[in-house]
Amino acid sequence: MTNRIGFIGLGNMGGRIAGRIVAAGHPVLGYDRDDTRAAAAGARPAGSVAEVVAGSDIVLLSLPDSPAVEAVVLGPYGILAHGRDGQVVVDLSTSAPASTIRLHRALAERGVTYVDAGISGGAAGAEKGTLTVMAGGPAAVIERLGWLFDLFTAKVATMGGSGAGHTAKLLNNFLNAVSLAATAEVMVAGRKAGLDLATLLDVINSGSGVTYASLNRFPHVIEGDYLEGGLTSALMMKDVVLYVDLIRELGVPALNASGPLASFGLAGQTGYADEISNRVVDAIGDLAGGVRLYDPDAKESDP
């Protein structure tokens, strides 16, 4: 088997990952509904999903949700209709594990191997090649893909069979949503209390309240940099809903889901749905009376 690479879905994450693959010297045949994105990522543009499938041995997917993945796989011009024995599909999307397992079974009947490969690390990690992959599927196939994962990841964990990668991704993303929403709320409270936010973050990050958001997001946000280009509030809300569906299926109580559901629901209803999820702090700030963490006027008036 050769290693011709195709890529479907070249948005914030897919475009950056494809760009790293191309930069490493591997041509990519790319398709996105926005026909400008393939060239922007350095890929050779394809006119359809079917063209990517016909011209690739490994097809990577980076799509917004399970319905989008299902349309690409099961549609009349999709992977199931045009796939062939020996092909590998690597799904980098955040999807419902139950859907992933169904697609795995359907593609297996055509001899196509489907690997669910949830990714974590955001747009910055994609650009730097430091993503973490949580992979589900045949371990031997995941191992054979190591050379490809090495182009955009720092860690690959084989989680188990089909659906295990996307299950791990939902668990991870839920914790991400909790920490982002909770830290945003705390930072708005700190601003209203008149605390110096840099000092507050320093205390949190050296104490028991430290989170990924407090370490990696809010030092930038308090300076007015929202780290644009990452996961939107709408997609974060989608991930939390998928998590709730998953743990309901598992028989686990969703005792801590109300916070991020409320926070990202608020963001979605107040104009921030398509903004980066870090803007949840502005949605909370709006409800708190128009609070913003960054005040350029205060910076200008500092002695």
Q: Return all residues near 69 (Cβ < 8 A) that are at least 6 apart.
A: 61, 63, 91, 93, 95, 99, 103
Structure tokens at 279: 């803007």
User: Which DSSP category does 216 fall into?
Assistant: I
169 assigned to active site: yes
Tally of residues, the chain: 303
**Are the CB atoms for 5 and 46 separated by under 8 Å?**
no
3-class DSSP state of 218:
helix
Unique residue bearing structure tokens 């909790």: 178
Pairing of strands 28-31, 44-45: parallel
- Quick one: which of 51, 108, 111 has its CA closest to 78? 51
Catalytic residue among 169, 192, 238, 299: 169
- Quick one: which of 132, 125, 5, 140 has its CA closest to 60? 5
Catalytic residues: 169
